[in-house]
Structure formats: structure tokens, C-alpha cells
Amino acid sequence: MPPRRENPDLAQVASEQLIAALPNIVNQVAAGLNANQPSNSEPRPPRECTYKTFRACNPKEFNGTKGAVGLLSWLESNESVLHISKCAEGNMVEYVAYLLQGRALTWWNTIVQTRGREAANRLPWEEFKKLLKEEYCPISELQKLEMELWNVEMKGDDISTYTTRFQELANLVPHLVTPEEVRIERYIWGLSPEIRGNITSANLKTIQEAVEVATKLTNNAVRSGRLTKGKRKTEEFEDRKFGRKHDRNRRTTRNFGAQSQVAGQGDVIRCDKCKVPHRGNCIICQRCHLGGHTAKDCRK
């Protein structure tokens, strides 16, 4: 039986229809492929911080034996690690709790037994810090740090030592120098009088700006001879500022804007409570509850 011949007209029509439909077919196939692949323009979700990732940032351990300074420094260090590792809020306490050793680990195990491990690990970070501070930051130690920050000041042209110690104390007790404008004001107050008078009119927005300007002014003052190299006694600065003759038997204590004079060496002794020499009852500020100044002189 002879092979069957197709109608040439029908074959031509089918070929033309196929050619016309090819662009649509290609577009549909391409769209399907693109739908199954992530778009380069869409940001990828951040990778979850695992405990391995957290430990890779070398966080410090804590054993609870170094008092308030040790705890506050440890918290500051590990908050930086939590930020760098992008640790989720829900994992912060659980990861950091593994860094507790010795006495601190015994304390944490007590918290776990009381609250349950799941509830303890899910504590908010700020609540965890509060519990640690209540355990390892005696009020007396915090008050010492606060008083040191209140009284730290620049000696002579040593701007570097003053800035370093000020920043350390400000990080340990940040509530005394918050917000930023209070930190800037307190930093400027502790500068040498020769520098302080030239920087107060500057419109400074950050503590970094204040440090840079103060350092430049200090270097210029040393080069011009207005500020002698080496350390000077605080009493000499005070005597020159207030037009007093220097007296070895008189001491001046400064408390962030408040001055109290103690005349006659041996008349009074340094108070163990407020850390300021005085007669009679302690001078306690009714605003910030710190010693050494009254509410009208309080700069907080």
C-alpha cells in the first residue's frame, strides 16, 4: 500500500503556527526557571548565630571573683561579642551563661533550679544583667566608681591618661553620663583650666569630637608654652583659678561643679560614707543621692 501523503497546505499552516508560538513558549519556560531561582536583587536573610559562631568570637569567661569592676568590664566585652556575632535576643542569655565559671556558675545553677532551665535561658538580656549586678556589684563599690568619675580630672598636659580613665569609668557607670551631652559636659569639666576655657564655646555633638578638639588644644598649648609638660597638682589649678595663694595645709575637693574647702590639716578626716572631708553630717545630694554636694550644685 503506497505511503500516505500529507496535505501540503495543512503542513504549511501548522509550521507557521508553531513559529508564531515559539516566542511565547520560550518566555514561559524562562519565567518558570527564574521563579525557581532566588533573585540577586533581593537581600538574603541573615544567617542565624549559632553557639559555635558565638564562641568563635572569643568571648571572655567570668568566675565572679573580681568584684564590680570585673563584672562591668565582662558585660561590656560580651555585649560587643553579641553585637558582632549578631546573636538573636532569645539566645543571648543561654550562650553567655556557658561562660560562667566557678562561683558564678554555682550562682547560675541556683537560678536554673529555681526558675527551670528553659525559663532561665529565655530571660531578657537586661534582666540577666540586673541579676548579675545585684549579686556581684555591691553598692559601696559602685559608689566608689561613681565618685571617681565625679572627680577624675586632667593633670598638667597628660590628656591621654585623663581621656583613657574617663572613658573607662564612663563605660562602667554610664548612668552618670547619659545622655551624650552630659558625657561631653563632664569630660570638658575635667580638662585643665587652660584647655577648658577654649573648648566650652565649641558646638560639640559627640564625645569623640570633644576628645579630638581637647587633644589639639592641649598640643597647641604645650607648643606655645601656655601649658607646661608634666603633671601639676590639682590644688595649683584651683588656686590660680580662684585667685588664692597656694597653702600646703589646705586641700580642695571638687565634685563636678561644687568646691568645698578644708582649712587646717588634721582638723577633719575623710568620711568613709561620702568619701569627702567634712565636719558634722554627710553632705548628700537629694537629687542624685551621691555625697559631696547639694542639690543646687548637682549637675546630673
Write out pLDDT tens, residues 152-171. 999 888 889 999 989 888 88
Predicted confidence at residue 261, as pLDDT, reads 40
Predicted confidence at residue 263, as pLDDT, reads 40
Distance of CA 236 to the CA centre of its chain: 34
Predicted confidence at residue 229, as pLDDT, reads 56
Q: Which residues contact 208 (CB under 8 A, 6 or more apart)?
A: none
| CB-facing half-sphere around the CA of 113: CA atoms within 13 A | 6
Contact 62, 101 (CB under 8 A): yes
Whether residue 265 is predicted with pLDDT greater than 50 in this model: the reply is no
Predicted confidence at residue 299, as pLDDT, reads 67
Count the neighbouring beta carbons within 10 Å of the beta carbon of residue 265: 11
Predicted confidence at residue 106, as pLDDT, reads 93
Count the neighbouring beta carbons within 10 Å of the beta carbon of residue 215: 14
Domains of the chain by residue range: 51-137, 138-232, 253-300
Predicted confidence at residue 231, as pLDDT, reads 45
**Tens of pLDDT along 224-261?**
777 665 544 444 444 444 454 444 344 333 444 444 34
Give 162-189 as a DSSP string.
HHHHHHHHHHHSGGGG-SHHHHHHHHHH
Mean pLDDT of 185-206: 83
| CB-facing half-sphere around the CA of 211: CA atoms within 13 A | 12
**Tens of pLDDT along 3-59?**
555 555 666 666 666 667 667 776 776 676 666 655 555 556 567 788 899 999 999
